[in-house]
Amino acid sequence: MILISNPDQSQWTEMLKRPVMNTENLFDTVRSIINRVKAEGDRAVLEYEEKFDKAILSSLVVSAEEQAEAETLVSEDLQAAIRLAKQNIETFHAAQRFEGKKVETQPGVACWQKAVAIEKVGLYIPGGTAPLFSTVLMLAVPAKIAGCKEIVLCTPPGKDGKVHPAVLFAAKVAGVSRIFKVGGVQAIAAMAYGTESVPKVYKIFGPGNQYVTAAKQLVSLRDVAIDMPAGPSEVEVLADETANPVFVAADLLSQAEHGADSQAVLVTTSARLQQAVKEEVERQLALLPRKEIAEQSLANSKLIVVRSLEEAIELTNAYAPEHLIIETADYMSVAGKVVNAGSVFLGSLSPESAGDYASGTNHTLPTNGYAKAYSGVSLDSFIRKITFQEIKPEGIRAIGPAIEVMAANEQLAAHKNAVTVRLKELEIEN
């Protein structure tokens, strides 16, 4: 890890740079896959599954028999853990239900909103080095609460043509409608345009590698919505001299093992803690099964000492981390000053792992500084708000003249006339 002490503010931008993921360079390759899936449907997807996932499939559909078999292959303790996490995620997200309020902006002018679920949503769950069954819960549970009619899940199969049983079990618990053995760019294309097997959806959610990210960006230009821009995962720990270096090191490493392009950052007011954390990271790293991945990630990671807690907070808001862990003596006071972060973990007993799995908050969050403008996935991500208005005679009389004046000044005569004819009709009736 890179050790930095008392950097000048002019150095912050360069110091806080993330590992670069330039998806634009992949667009030509990704576009060719998307276009072929769009034109040839299942046939193209099956060929790409054989090419990229090394799986020879006769069907893209996960059958009811496969889902039933998966349940027998998931240990009882993991089943119990998944059910507990599902319950907490459900409790937290159900509390976000929107209750519209009818507002009378003028006598006789009523306006209100209604929340309506996105009817068809697609969830992408990566395969690769770790089965992300937790992401199934994070996406499918709020989709179910929102009332999405069709929840489609795509995930790459193994070389044996099967999906990891924990992913299938989590999908069943969360209420996924249909599951397909499709990974990578071809999965995003299948959900964006539809194939003989995979239905077209209106919005696509879920993480993925740089090819999946590029595919989501391309299909979102005109054909389907996506959850948010995505990049490599990241964590910042903001700590003072009271923090436990064992906990801090464990938090940094839990992020580092996500992938070689992940980033872990410590911002602290204590040079002693910086050194202790460095030593503890080295000790814990040696014990990790995913040591090689974590080592690559740590090359992008930094241990930064700043002059004061105020400076630490300012630096944090400039970085806008996906995950922020605050391990300071007065962490609630510090938390109140945080304005740019995806998800915040308060105190020494709130590791990022809690939000990743089972506390109830969502782990699909804005990365790469997007927390300055984007929220993480929530119930709102799966709904649209439709506005309604009802105008009665006294209402159109009250606001009609203002509308006429504004329309005339924008030189939109038909807009003005739509009000004028109504006002005249009301005069006749009277």
CB 313 within 8 A of CB 268: no
3-state secondary structure of 125: coil
On whether 164 is known to bind a ligand per the annotation, the reply is: no
- Residue 318's contacts (CB-CB under 8 Å, 6 or more residues apart) are 12, 16, 340
CB 132 within 8 A of CB 125: yes
On whether 363 is known to bind a ligand per the annotation, the reply is: no
On whether 263 is known to bind a ligand per the annotation, the reply is: no
On whether 415 is known to bind a ligand per the annotation, the reply is: yes
On whether 356 is known to bind a ligand per the annotation, the reply is: yes
Look up residue 33 and give its two tokens. Answer: 């896959």
CB 36 within 8 A of CB 184: no
CB 12 within 8 A of CB 302: no
Whole-number Cα distances in Å, 66 to 1, 119, 134, 149 = 44, 26, 20, 23
Rounded distance between C-alpha atoms, residue 311 and residue 388, angstroms: 46
Classify the phi-psi angles of 45: left when phi > 0, otherwise alpha if psi is within -120 to 50, otherwise beta. alpha
On whether 48 is known to bind a ligand per the annotation, the reply is: no
On whether 124 is known to bind a ligand per the annotation, the reply is: yes
CB 282 within 8 A of CB 276: no
**Residues classed as catalytic:** 322-323
Cα dihedral across residues 142, 145, 151, 157: positive or negative: positive
3-state secondary structure of 388: strand
On whether 93 is known to bind a ligand per the annotation, the reply is: no
On whether 410 is known to bind a ligand per the annotation, the reply is: yes
3-state secondary structure of 225: strand
How many Cα neighbours within 13 Å face the side chain of 341? 23
On whether 79 is known to bind a ligand per the annotation, the reply is: no
Rounded distance between C-alpha atoms, residue 181 and residue 155, angstroms: 5
Bind-site residues for NAD(+): 124, 186, 209
Bind-site residues for Zn(2+): 255, 258, 356, 415
Bind-site residues for substrate: 233, 255, 258, 323, 356, 410, 415
Bind-site residues: 124, 186, 209, 233, 255, 258, 323, 356, 410, 415
